[in-house]
Amino acid sequence: MARIVVKFGGTSMANIERIRHSARHVKREIEAGNQVTVVVSAMSGKTNELVGWVNEGSKLHDAREYDAVVASGEQVTAGLMAIVLSEMGVQSRSFAGWQVPIHTDDSHGAARITGIDPTELDKRMNEGWVPVVTGFQGISPHGRITTLGRGGSDTSAVAVAAAVGADRCDIYTDVDGVYTTDPRIVPKAQRMTKISFEEMLEMASLGAKVLMIRSVEMAMAHKVRLTVRSSFDDPDAPQIGPDGRPGVPGTLVCDEDEIMEKQIVSGVTLAKAEAKITLRDVKDSPGVAAAIFGTLADKGIIVDMIVQNIADDGATTDITFTVPDSEYEKAVKALESNGGRFEYARLSGSRGGAKVSVVGVGMRSHAGVAASMFKALADKGINIQLITTSEIKTSVLIDEEYAELAVRALHTYYGLDRKDA
């Protein structure tokens, strides 16, 4: 017997027919003698609709009310999943975040889980019931509903899995695993049998939205075995792992030690809608960078890539960085009216950048990945505007117009294309 937490994303919960199909995966696990807790997302498109209504109500809404509205999508699907499971003969009960309870801090709209009481879930599972928990939400220290940020149901699932000591956490989605790049952009993308937590973390933070970053961080910290698989598979088909033996189909996210063959580049990611801002002739003295980025941080603006040039004259320097397109105006305003915290001669910037990255743990021990990446892009006539690197990734900012071309070119260049495609 295994204890499993299974999570169904929006497309897996899109309507009653899909919920019924997803429920059959749960029924199969129960019939195999396993204990299961389900975590659900809202129906696909629902959260966007709810966010739209909130903004229509008022652009300057209170974040507590945003959460009250936006968390409701998961309440609908949790109840429906429990109804459908019960009708199939699987005893099931839904739980909203506060009923578990899933405790969070009070950062409404981007709350972090601080603790989960496993007592009720434990009891239900030991009695043969299937608890269905609303993903994406929890309860604040003040007793109000919170949400975890977009894509947060993945994090709910991993946190619940850690809390109940699950043997594994299966993320059911609309692709049958983690691919070398988004299979919607590159049809030749290959499914990975395994990916390390570190690589998955980089891929998630660089734009592969198949798993929310926080969920990977949490799985890594709590050693939760995570699989990504498709809910669209036939629930009654034999369960065959990626190695061809009986097991969990899909991609296993695991410790690097479990991966024998370390690729230099294992994946390519794309994040669009990046805006670039340059401050020219910034006074070059200690504390200036802190003042500039402190000004942005005070406004809650997340800065991504940063490049600072060495001052020619020893007195001034240029600083360029990126922020999400949606934060561009707010960032420019904050910099222009900085209350004398720092000085610069000119500000210039533009929206519509794309960040393309290559990721691989093999980069730790291989030189020249950045150089080969730049060459592959140059061969396609793609101009690089900014570069950042870490131990296991290299990212470049390019014009959004060339984003897909760049992803495809790099995917081919690093030998990641499916051989039969």
As annotated, the binding site for ATP includes 7-10, 173-174, 179, 184, 209-210
Residue 123, binding choice from ligand ASP, Mg ion, ligand ADP, none, Cβ under 5 to 8 Å by partner class: none
Q: Which is nearer to Mg ion, 9 or 324 (CB)?
A: 9
Residues between 175 and 204 with contacts to ligand ADP, criterion CB under 6 A = 175, 178-179, 181-184
* Site size with Mg ion, rule: CB under 5 A: 2
- Laid out side by side, the sheet with 251-254 consists of 92-95, 130-134, 35-40, 3-8, 168-173, 226-230, 251-254, 194-196
* CA angle (401, 205, 330) in 5-degree steps: 65
Nearest residue to 19 (alpha-carbon basis) of 67, 88, 108: 88
In whole angstroms, what is the distance from residue 159 CA to residue 145 CA? 17
CB of 38 to Mg ion, least distance (A): 16
Contact map string, positions 13 to 52, toward ligand ASP, x by CB under 6 A? ----------------------------xx----x-----
Is 153 a binding residue for ligand ASP by CB under 6 A? The answer is yes
In whole angstroms, what is the distance from residue 29 CA to residue 230 CA? 15
Specify which residues 253 forms β-bridges with.
195, 226
Is 215 a binding residue for ligand ASP by CB under 6 A? The answer is no
CB of 173 to Mg ion, least distance (A): 7
Q: What is the dihedral of CA 238, 253, 99, 15, to 10 degrees?
A: -50
Is 250 a binding residue for ligand ADP by CB under 6 A? The answer is no
Q: Which is nearer to ligand ASP, 74 or 284 (CB)?
A: 74
Distance from the Cα of residue 109 to its chain's centroid: 15
Nearest residue to 353 (alpha-carbon basis) of 275, 251, 283, 256: 275
Amino acid occupying residue 187: P
CB of 270 to ligand ADP, least distance (A): 8
Is 151 a binding residue for Mg ion by CB under 5 A? The answer is yes
Sites of contact with Mg ion (CB under 5 A) = 9, 151
Site residues (vs ligand ADP, CB under 6 A): 9-12, 41, 151, 173-175, 178-179, 181-184, 208-210
